[in-house]
Amino acid sequence: MKAAVVVFPGSNCDRDCKVAVERSTGARVEMVWHAETALPDDLDLVVLPGGFSYGDYLRCGAMAAQSPVMRAVAAAANDGVAVIGICNGFQILCEAGLLPGALLRNAGLKYICKSVTLDVVNTQTLFTSAFGEQYEAVMTVGNGEGNFFADEATLDRLEGEGQVVFRYQQNPNGSARGIAGVTNAKGNVLGMMPHPDRAFEDDLGGADGALVFRSVFA
Amino acid sequence: MKATVHVFLKAGVLDVQGKAVESALHGLGWPDVSAVRVGRVIEFDLVAQDAATADAEVEAMCDRLLANTVIESFRVEITP
């Protein structure tokens, strides 16, 4: 059981992700600097953490998507390794073309930091199997650009193929069809704006996030 | 040669900044303003054999980095 958390300049949830994965799953977690060209061997999970990589220059996640390490992340994803991008990590995965769609400025133009209740739309994924019969999850969002966008044909395909994993019960930011988290077609790359890394123990207000990490190692 | 790249959200993508600026302009006494779009201009110098080559290079840069074509469209100008 081994995971890696990629650290970009401007990441600020990297340590949260490390602690969250360690405490949720018992996996060993290595930190990988973005300038590395290779990931550690035998990884089960790669996490791209939240933050403001490269100061959100150009577009959120655009610069980080071109980091040397992202070629290794793409190769790992291609080999079937589980990859989770949380918040800025989601934006990076979209910019890198590893996930469909893009994240736009929140419809209300405001940074939103609050608790959200999610529908667990698909409990049969690599990232949600541990939810079992639990179809709701509570986590927090904290972002200014979390408004998921994709064209209608792509959205239809995502829904039809079961790639929509999490949906906001009350859409906070104008996301298309209330989408909070999606996977790639193969099902081994997940992007989500809410933070499972901030909801992995009851002391943090909820432990639903731990189920996301536990699912990967189930 | 000098390249100027104009990047805007695509027509079908809601430009919330544009909407906010439009509403502010209305509030300041310009009610006839409509269809405000907020975009980005990127300028740089580059060495290329001719304008057509430069244009092709800059288009490639837009596809790779300067624009996200899922949500944005771009226009390239090359001047000597």
Mean pLDDT of A99-105: 97
Counted domains in chain B: 1
Name the pairing type of β-strands A82-86 and A189-192.
parallel
Closest-CA residue of A relative to B42 is: A58
Look at residue A218 in the predicted model and tell me its pLDDT: 87
Residue B33 confidence (pLDDT):
97
What pTM did the predictor assign?
A: 0.95
DSSP string of A24-80, one letter each residue: HH--EEEEEETT-SSPPSS-SEEEE--B-GGGG-SSTTTTGGGSHHHHHHHHHHHTT
Q: What CATH number is given to the structural domain containing B44?
A: 3.30.1280.10
Q: Is A97 helix (H, G, I), strand (E, B) or coil?
A: coil
Q: How far apart are CA A124 and CA A131, in angstroms?
A: 9
For testing the chain A interface, which of B8, B71, B74 should be mutated: the one with the most A CBs within 10 Å?
B71
The nearest alpha carbon in chain A to B39 belongs to A58
- The residues in A 30-59 lying below 8 A from B, measured between CB atoms, are 58-59
pLDDT tens digit sequence for A138-180: 999 999 999 999 999 999 999 999 999 999 999 999 999 999 9
Distance of CA A35 to the CA centre of its chain: 21
Range of the domain at B75: 2-79
CATH top-level class for A2-216?
alpha beta
ipTM score for this prediction: 0.89
Dist CA A210 CA A36 (whole Å): 28
